[in-house]
Amino acid sequence: MDSLDNKYAYQMRINSSSDLQNRLREIKHVALDLDGTIYNGDTLFPFTITFLEKLNKLGIGYSFLTNNPSRSINDYLFHLKKMGITATREEIYTSALATIDYLKNYYPKAKRLFILGTPSMIEEFEDAGFTSTNDDENDKPDAVVVGFDKTLVYPRLCRAAWWISKEIFYVATNPDKVCPTDEPVLLVDCGSICSCLEQATGRSPDVVIGKPDPRMLNGIIERHHLEPSQIAMIGDRIYTDLKMAHEAKTLGVLVLTGETIYDLRKHFKLKPDIIVDDLEEFGKMLMESKNSVEHS
């Protein structure tokens, strides 16, 4: 690559300067993963706010997409505000909301749910009109929903396994195995909890919502009247963020600030359209593509 140099070019799907500039010029909206992309745990990356300001300057909109359902929208708004980012409810879409939309659209008879999730996640479902069933053999749900439950207790795990073993419809909010964190601990995520349940019951989820399901991007496409080629999906995970971008035919940008480090990238068959160290580097690419148009 010449004017848009990138040290990872030979590992990218887009590996010529002209092709890269053409794709970047089309971008009108950026979908941003949260953990591992704009922050790590409770630590905001130093370049995040500058990157968002650069998008505003370029007239590019943005939304926050996350596979982490453990927080409600209000929780996320508060969390972002503490970090200095002011966002609106319309700018945030979680895998919990995607699961709610899925159940309402494709499994409307599910009104009563046994939810393996945090109180915030359960509240999100209840606010949407669902009833959360108790840990009681006589309180039979219409469906089981399993999420990233940081408040997980053994009896509720066993109750979820019991209902799953009874062939009740079973939905997972997201496939992530671990959640990025800035703490010295490994956060076991929904995908790993589902693996535990599969060992106990012999069943995997009937449906797995969240990234990489391309429907996570439908709201952005419809709300902003965009074409897939006008959206850049930025994330730190190849098997969720980048796979979704690929299936939705949007621009897939891998940042190396979260789960996927460059040394591990070679073990995945799916090539990202673009690989960058962080958002700052991608912001420079966007700015350079914009400047190249103005000076052409």
- The domain of 133 spans 96-208
Examine the domain organization and report whether 165 and 219 are in the same domain.
no
Q: What is the pLDDT of residue 262?
A: 62
Q: Nearest to residue 80, comparing CAs of 44, 50, 51, 37?
A: 44
Q: What is the pLDDT of residue 228?
A: 95
Domain-terminating residue out of 175, 208, 241: 208
Q: What is the pLDDT of residue 152?
A: 97
Q: What is the pLDDT of residue 1?
A: 41
**Residue 191 falls inside a structural domain:** yes
Q: What is the pLDDT of residue 225?
A: 92
**Residue 25 falls inside a structural domain:** yes
Residue 165 tokens read as 């073993």
Q: Nearest to residue 232, comparing CAs of 41, 39, 20, 46?
A: 20
CATH code for the domain of 51 = 3.40.50.1000
Examine the domain organization and report whether 43 and 147 are in the same domain.
no
pLDDT along the chain (296 residues), means of 10: 65 85 95 93 93 96 93 93 93 92 94 97 96 97 97 98 98 90 89 98 96 85 91 92 94 91 68 94 92 62
Q: What is the pTM of this model?
A: 0.82
**Residue 73 falls inside a structural domain:** no
What is the distance between the alpha carbons of residues 178 and 193, in angstroms, rounded to a whole number?
Answer: 10
Q: What is the pLDDT of residue 294?
A: 59
Backbone angles phi, psi at 218, to 5 degrees: -60, -40
Q: How many domains does the chain have?
A: 2
Domain-terminating residue out of 177, 208, 239: 208
Q: Nearest to residue 178, comparing CAs of 41, 84, 282?
A: 41
**Residue 150 falls inside a structural domain:** yes
Q: Give the H or E element holding residue 115.
A: strand 112-116
